[in-house]
Structure 1
């Protein structure tokens, strides 16, 4: 491969990565798939783009929309052959949300997740909501109360700030 061909190949790959990284999450539109941490890999071989994404949890209903949005965005940017693969291993964790993504969540009034729990061996079944360290995204008060373990999407819980009285979503730690 000549230097010119290698440079063009690198430029094509970087352009494909930039396009894929700019696609937003359908449930959290303040986050790109890259900021959410679900965008795993972008590869270009013989002009065909392959993108790997990881679901935030098994059965995530947004995966089909993410796939369709990736294909549409890449095709709109001149990539005619696009394939999206689902990568299940390693499993996604909220620790993969970038610092920019966490800041974007807070700016949108959504409490970003804390550190994901670490587990060794079997995980004990708990029938009560886990204790979380949550701060209000509006006033930063730690004085919050859980109002519902299920928020606007399955990956969020609803809280209310006891200080400023604002309700808000919190992204659950996974």
Structure 2
């Protein structure tokens, strides 16, 4: 029974440590808030293994997320911690927690709406992507797309026509 209790205590401590890691591009979000931290477990050898899923297949922040997560686990006493990158299922912006969405809005970043649903092949669209976006400053829906790419590839830049403030919007995936 001590092994079960010890494993449970290890998992609680490991999850607590992993839950402190923030996203390097959106530091108001933890990896939990962003939905990137998928699992923390203890393998048969007693090593802590954390699983993360990239927001994009080429996300440049993944290496930093992995390194920060490994460092946090090691600092918490898990010397043989490992990070596993899990590509399946693919990350979706629907995994951002309600707390994460609130934190984005409070930081002046428009949180994503519901992710698009696809029942088969994804059609190629060459026109601008239509999104339901509201200004995080004043709440107006009267916004204009400034650039499909914002400060990072996962965000688009908008400008509010009501308050004239520019803002990032996290893209729906």
| Superposition deviation, residue 53 in structure 1 | 0.5
CA deviation map 1:129-164 (0-9, x unaligned):
211000000111101110000100000000001111
Q: Which runs of 5+ in 1 are unaligned?
A: none
Superposed, 1:25-174 pairs within 5 Å as 25-45=23-43, 46-174=45-173
| Superposition deviation, residue 20 in structure 1 | 0.7
Compare 110-119 and 124-133 and name the one that shifted more: 124-133
Compute the RMSD of aligned alpha carbons.
0.9
Q: Which runs of 5+ in 2 are unaligned?
A: none
SS at match of 1:24: coil
- Partners of 2:91 and 2:62 lie apart in 1 by 13
SS at match of 1:111: coil
TM-score (norm 1): 0.96
SS at match of 2:81: strand
Report if aligned partners of 1:47, 1:79 keep a CA contact under 8 Å in 2. Answer: no
- Partners of 1:87 and 1:37 lie apart in 2 by 12
